[in-house]
Structure 1
């Protein structure tokens, strides 16, 4: 284990920590949890950390035995991630062909710290195919041929760094709850109130972008 490798993985983890899916989940919980929002948001973060560590550990241990397979895994995940993103853009474009009301951000009454942990697990797991820094970090650990104990310790550190922005949001929300909540609500109101007007131009641009994004891995493979 070298200092250069550790710094590389720390940098990848810091880049990966700017994950909108997990951060939005924490913000949504702080704003809309029916009870104990601070503890519930903390449970969401715990679920995210467990996912990052568990999946990373499984990949690291498995790849240690079949290291040659990691490249194929990364290529496959790249196709899945770009394909999912492309489909999402096309669907968003189709929806812009008509006026539609914005949906409010709400959580069900049964949402609690106990159910927030699996919620954090599901949200983070669903977004992992887009986490290219994460898989690059696992690949670097496998290539370095370090022991399982040291590798798992590094992956645990990666999971902590991944959750730092969410932890900052949580601490700020707890320390200055009323002011932070109102600030977050003022931001979310722009995306949850009123309606989205029909726009043919936006629809065409979104659908075109979706096709290009979905086809990007194929184009890159042809070029390389």
Structure 2
């Protein structure tokens, strides 16, 4: 169990660096909202609930399917790793072409009652790209973790996933003007000429990762 915990912690930390939810908190801090903390906390709560709920559905559904099929666990594990490899391959192809960068800003309907649903939507839309998430579920399936402990592990994973958002929010509340200045500078630098430049080295790294994960799927 100790090895599994360290494995899940590492995957969750890697997954937490995904910019989707972090950018949401940054945009909230940069917005003219008088009280950004409740908005950001509701947004992060939506992200947390999404990671936990989707993970629970995938794990419990996979467990039920594996119980109904002879050797089902092996094929489900291979499917999870294979899907992760495909997602990495798609990301590699996307890095080979220059594409426009869409400006990120809060929609007009964003408020205290819609912040949590917005966190759900943004996180759910980004989960198909979160290959560490799929690998983590595969590791849990391989270890045959019972449903109760599995839900606790998924809750811990979701908390680690949201950790950078909470750290950024805490920094923004403690050092508001300084943090906002740095966020504005990062936004201006990231926007550049309004495009995401192609990158052969990053595409090659993603492709190599896809091959490695695909190899794991073949021998899972």
TM-score range, shorter chain: 0.7 to 0.9
Q: Does 1:184 align with 2:177?
A: no
Q: Which moved more, 1:113-122 or 1:69-78?
A: 69-78
1:35-50 map, 5 Å: 35-50=34-49
Secondary structure of 2:108's aligned partner: coil
Gap change, CA 1:157 and 1:33, over 3 Å in 2: farther
Shift of 1:91: 5.5
Shift of 1:130: 2.3
Q: Output the TM-score relative to the length of structure 1.
A: 0.77
Report if aligned partners of 2:80, 2:135 keep a CA contact under 8 Å in 1.
no
Shift of 1:60: 1.0
Distance in 1 between residues matched to 2:5 and 2:207, nearest whole Å: 34
Could you tell me which residue of structure 2 aligns to residue 98 of structure 1? none
Could you tell me which residue of structure 2 aligns to residue 28 of structure 1? 27
Distance in 1 between residues matched to 2:17 and 2:207, nearest whole Å: 25
Superposed CA offset, 1:162-203 (max 9, x none):
11111000111111112211221122123447x459xxxx97
Distance in 2 between residues matched to 1:144 and 1:219, nearest whole Å: 21
Report if aligned partners of 2:25, 2:169 keep a CA contact under 8 Å in 1.
yes
Could you tell me which residue of structure 2 aligns to residue 99 of structure 1? none
Structure number with bigger Rg? 1
Report if aligned partners of 1:84, 1:214 keep a CA contact under 8 Å in 2.
yes
**Which blocks of at least 5 consecutive residues in structure 1 are unaligned?**
96-101
Distance in 2 between residues matched to 1:155 and 1:191, nearest whole Å: 32
Distance in 1 between residues matched to 2:15 and 2:214, nearest whole Å: 24
Report if aligned partners of 2:95, 2:200 keep a CA contact under 8 Å in 1.
no
1:81-96 map, 5 Å: 81-83=88-90, 86-87=93-94, 89-90=96-97, 92=99
Distance in 1 between residues matched to 2:138 and 2:105, nearest whole Å: 38
Gap change, CA 1:215 and 1:135, over 3 Å in 2: closer
Q: Output the TM-score relative to the length of structure 2.
A: 0.78
**Which blocks of at least 5 consecutive residues in structure 2 are unaligned?**
67-72
Q: Which moved more, 1:207-216 or 1:109-118?
A: 207-216
Shift of 1:87: 4.1
Pairs aligned (count):
207
1:1-224 map, 5 Å: 2-32=1-31, 34-65=33-64, 66=66, 67=73, 68-83=75-90, 86-87=93-94, 89-90=96-97, 92=99, 105-192=104-191, 195-196=193-194, 206=198
Superposition RMSD in Å:
3.2
Secondary structure of 1:114's aligned partner: coil
Superposed CA offset, 1:53-99 (max 9, x none):
0111111111212223232243134324532563475351xx5xxxx
Report if aligned partners of 1:86, 1:209 keep a CA contact under 8 Å in 2.
no
Secondary structure of 1:142's aligned partner: helix
